[in-house]
Structure 1
């Protein structure tokens, strides 16, 4: 990758407040001014891709075109080995709930329950190995783009534990750990997460440093 950000403004192409906080924290040391897609009033494009990379690029390119600034998008999800990698790119769809006044809602407890229910159907001895996958995509207004992939291995637990995470964090125990992502101090989660893994690769490439 020959093109780099080199400081300045960067649109974070997400309307997910939890993801936005994590991305801002990870980029803070590198002199980037982060502008959220929500604050800029940018529309959310339809995520029609069948891979994390395709969806991340859709979001990054849409934001870069709309804002005429470089944009960074994240697409991530939970992949369960015994379920053939599901929910995968449909991670958020499994959390769809009835709409409320002002917009659609997501019921993450329901989504976690769906995963647990499908594992229960397979029997008590079903392996609970899983991983969080993350793809970060940077796009420039002229169409150039680059992607970085990260991964965090772990196992699923039940019932959900912890209140500091979001999404499926309360049922994800990282490999070698005892606490769920939602029980970990945010700084510790940032250090070992799938997003941190992808960011380490982005930082090495874009800023010439290790994350």
Structure 2
């Protein structure tokens, strides 16, 4: 296996999702990395034709790296519901439609569970993070968080956060501050969210804190 490559200087965050952009910038901030988004650079969104989260993250990261000439950092993530055979999964964003109506998407999940008569409310979030350089070098890291689905609660977070209650907690992601949701205890490496857990692995391999 080739050695990990250290990221420094400027990086493109290959997303047009405002919620993901905020989280990624906050995660990168302690490492002295300057982050600019694909949207700010006017980069188009590539077609996500992969069959796994990691493939879609790589598509976005490589497209942004090639177009910008800078290293690019991309996430592909989604909610996988056990009783729906892993749906919405890769299609989590598409369930919200062009208007990104996640209230409607959460209602669709509830309707699908009711239609199937499912009592199992187990689910998990997956995040695949990819760092790509213009020369094609790629780094991949994944994180997961398990929990169950409840009636949507809370106005924090984004996407399906209000209906997801992580294991061991009474609150949903929609009731948890961004600092708590993706904060990292760097001494232990513990993190709550799927994206933060993937980022811990990425940071250990590819980032260095400024002296």
Q: State the TM-score, normalized to the length of structure 2.
A: 0.92
Measure how far apart 1:121 and its partner are. Answer: 1.5
Root mean square deviation, CA, Å: 1.2
Give the SS at the match of 2:35.
strand
Measured against aligned partners, the alpha-carbon deviations of 1:114-147 in whole angstroms (never above 9, x if no partner) come to: 11111112226x2100000000001100111111
- Deviation per residue, 1:40-75 (Å, 9 max, x gap): 000100011111001000000000000000000000
1:33 matched to 2:34? The reply is yes
Residue 92 of structure 1: aligned partner:
93
Matched, 1:128 2:125: no
Alignment of 1:42-121 (within 5 A): 42-96=43-97, 104-121=98-115
Structure 2 counterpart SS, 1:182? helix
- Distance in 2 (CA, whole Å) between partners of 1:45 and 1:201 is 26
SS at structure 2 position matched to 1:111: helix
Partner Cα distance (2:23, 2:65) in 1? 20
Provide the residue aligned with 2:188 in structure 1: none
Equivalents in 2 of 1:39, 1:208: separation in Å? 25
Is residue 202 of structure 1 aligned with residue 202 of structure 2?
A: yes
Structure 1, unaligned stretches of length 5 or more? Answer: 97-103
Which residue, out of 176, 179, 191, partners 2:168? Answer: 176
Matched length: 200
What corresponds to 1:167 in structure 2?
A: 159
Instruction: Tell me the distance in 1 between the aligned counterparts of 2:7 and 2:86.
Output: 36
CA distance in 2, matches of 1:66, 1:149: 25
- Aligned partner of 2:25 in structure 1 is 24
Q: Which structure 2 segments of 5+ residues have no match?
A: 184-191
* Distance in 2 between residues matched to 1:119 and 1:189, nearest whole Å: 26
Cα distance in 2 between the residues matched to 1:172 and 1:57: 26
Q: Is 1:12 aligned to 2:13, yes or no?
A: yes
- Tell me the distance in 1 between the aligned counterparts of 2:196 and 2:33: 17
